[in-house]
A and B are shown apart, each in its own frame.
Chain A
Amino acid sequence: MARLKDLPEALSANLANLPCPEFADTPWVQPLPLAESRLALISTAGLHLRGDAPFNGFSGEYRVIPGDAAAGDLVMSHVSTNFDRSGFQQDLNLVLPLDRLRELVEQKAIGSLASYHYSFMGATDPAPMEQTAREVAGLLKGDGVDTVLLVPV
């Protein structure tokens, strides 16, 4: 249903008119075969550990999600009220598919998972996210990660 025509008109117009950054070219890293790769998740759902600071403002900040996090460890403090949360409330995998990825590692379809995953809050201007995204990239590389799956909300 994330077709613009299916959304309430005010929301659909807002999303259609949202300025998106445009880039002259698309950077391209040749990935390792999935079965040999170490994969991390980056979500923009505003997720964080229950005791961590809620997202507050639009500075492009991020939160760390330990690789062994369970559904009960995480809460959401995204600012928007215009996306469904009832599905996430029933099943974390709907927005952060950690269990599904763990299953794929067990089946040897994916080499391994990162020790830490990360969450940003969408609805933030991408510009201030560049610096924090580069910081996260450094953390991921330090963790031996080579491949990242980005999941919006």
Chain B
Amino acid sequence: MEQEGLATTQISLIREHSKTIKPPRALWVPFELGRPLGAPNDPDFQKRVLLAALKLLEAPSGPVLADFPEEAPASTAPAGPLACPISLPLEQADLASPEGLRQAFLQEVTQMGVWHREAEKKRGHTTYGASGLEPLEAARLLAGFLLGELPANPRDDLSLPALVKLASEDIKALYMEAITARPGGLTDSASLTDWFFGQCVAGRVFLQLREVMSQSPDKETRVVGGRLMIPVSQASRRLST
């Protein structure tokens, strides 16, 4: 950009990288990955971060690597363990069999969809939809693998594993948008991830998919299932019965 004549300033999340690359102007922020402006729904804080990054444009020479002086505002963590907020009688579901797990997952997605529609109404938008599939279609696609079937690919512009990846992120978005819009306004990302992978049938489906897809003869399927569906923070989680 600068070689092309455009002045730049930037936010940096990994200070070590900026120190090596030496961009002309960088503001390191001590926030978690995925949150470069610090906190959702906190316009004043976001504006302070933005102005600090723009302020670097006044520096007479560089490279400039400045540190933002504030930590991100504390997120709202749950008072106790989160349960999956649906009325599915999980203890009655046969989660040990692939068909039982599939049915429980589809039911959970349907019920979560109700909360998600409420969330969308409240916020006026949703980030669901990169896969182009409706929630139940996305869930059926993921569940197809559980039964050892190779599901049909409803899109002709993406490979099946690439679509599975997008569908998995859409399902996560559906759940996260639903739970964060519920009264209480939970925003702590670690609790949310623990909740999804530890308490929801969907998390169990993802863990099972990792096992199934990792055995695939197709390399892209192995990469998606093995590395692109479960975050490193949850990688040691094992299926319990």
Q: Which residues of A contact B (CB under 8 A)?
A: 1-4, 7-8, 10-11, 15-16, 18, 20-23, 26-32, 34, 37, 42, 50, 53-54, 56, 70-72, 74-77, 79-95, 97, 99-101, 103-104, 109-110, 133-134, 137-138, 140-141, 145-153
Are B192 and A152 in contact (CB-based, < 8 A)? no
A15 to B232, CA, bound (A): 12
A82 to B228, CA, bound (A): 9
Which residues from chain B contact A103 at a C-beta distance below 8 Å?
Answer: 43, 47
Are A85 and B169 in contact (CB-based, < 8 A)? yes
Are A86 and B235 in contact (CB-based, < 8 A)? no
A140 to B38, CA, bound (A): 27
Interface of B is mostly: loop
B53 at interface by CB-CB < 8 Å = yes
B66 at interface by CB-CB < 8 Å = no
Which residues from chain A contact B11 at a C-beta distance below 8 Å?
Answer: 149-152
Report the count of interface residues on B (CB-CB < 8 A).
79
Are B1 and A133 in contact (CB-based, < 8 A)? yes
Ranked 6 nearest A-B pairs via Cβ: A72-B125, A84-B34, A83-B34, A137-B4, A31-B7, A91-B40
Are A15 and B14 in contact (CB-based, < 8 A)? yes
Are B54 and A149 in contact (CB-based, < 8 A)? yes
Which residues from chain B contact A110 at a C-beta distance below 8 Å?
Answer: 54
B230 to A, closest residue via Cβ: A81
Are A87 and B40 in contact (CB-based, < 8 A)? yes
A34 in complex: contacting residue of B20, B54, B129, B172, CB < 8 Å: B54
A2 to B, closest residue via Cβ: B13
A20 to B, closest residue via Cβ: B20
A-B contact pairs, 29 of them (CB 8 A): A3-B30, A10-B232, A11-B233, A16-B16, A18-B17, A22-B20, A27-B2, A27-B3, A34-B58, A50-B129, A56-B162, A74-B127, A76-B127, A82-B33, A83-B33, A83-B34, A88-B34, A92-B127, A94-B35, A94-B39, A104-B47, A110-B54, A138-B4, A146-B6, A147-B9, A149-B10, A151-B10, A151-B11, A152-B12
B136 at interface by CB-CB < 8 Å = no
B107 at interface by CB-CB < 8 Å = no
Which residues from chain B contact A7 at a C-beta distance below 8 Å?
Answer: 33
Given A11-B232, A30-B7, A103-B47, does the pair A1, B72 have CB atoms closer than 8 Å? Answer: yes
Stretch among B84-92, B95-103, B173-181 lining the A interface: B173-181
Are B158 and A152 in contact (CB-based, < 8 A)? no
B20 to A, closest residue via Cβ: A20
B113 at interface by CB-CB < 8 Å = no
Are B6 and A82 in contact (CB-based, < 8 A)? no
B36 at interface by CB-CB < 8 Å = yes
Are A81 and B231 in contact (CB-based, < 8 A)? yes
Beyond contacts A2-B32, A15-B14, A152-B13: 18 other A-B pairs, Cβ-Cβ < 8 A, are: A4-B14, A21-B21, A22-B21, A27-B2, A29-B24, A75-B127, A84-B33, A85-B169, A85-B173, A88-B40, A90-B181, A141-B6, A147-B8, A147-B9, A148-B7, A150-B8, A151-B10, A151-B11
A148 to B43, CA, bound (A): 21
B187 at interface by CB-CB < 8 Å = yes
